[in-house]
Amino acid sequence: MMQYFFQSSNFRGKEKQYRDLLRGVFLEEISHVELVQHTINQLLTGSGEPTPGNASIDKAPLDEAVKHANPHHFIVGAQSSLPVDAAGNPWNGSWVYSHGNLISDLLDNVVLES
């Protein structure tokens, strides 16, 4: 996502349609992140309550999940999505590759998307 953003922002060529293409892909990737964030926020809503979800109806395994909840979501994240991976490592820009060369950038993107 951020790779497409930096590639489109740093593109200096005269061919505006390529910059617009990269920017369009960036916007599409942002919408995917928004969908994932919305899903995470919906799953975490009410997860600290005594009977979360449908646990009071059928005693689903959700009870066990709440007992062993990640306190990070309650203390730091206010029970919302965070820009971290599954291990809690924060997102950083070390995975962004922007060469300033359109062909190199597009080849990197093809490799990363496949």
Residue 29 labelled as part of a binding site:
yes
φ and ψ at 84, to 5 degrees?
-135, 165
> Per the annotation, does 113 bind a ligand?
yes
- Tally Cβ neighbours within 10 Å of residue 1: 15
* Half-sphere exposure in the Cβ direction for 73 (13 Å, CA): 18
Q: What CA–CA distance (Å, rounded) separates 83 from 63?
A: 26
> Residue positions in the annotated binding site for Ca(2+)?
20
> Residue positions in the annotated binding site for Mn(2+)?
29, 32, 113
> Residue positions in the annotated binding site?
20, 29, 32, 113
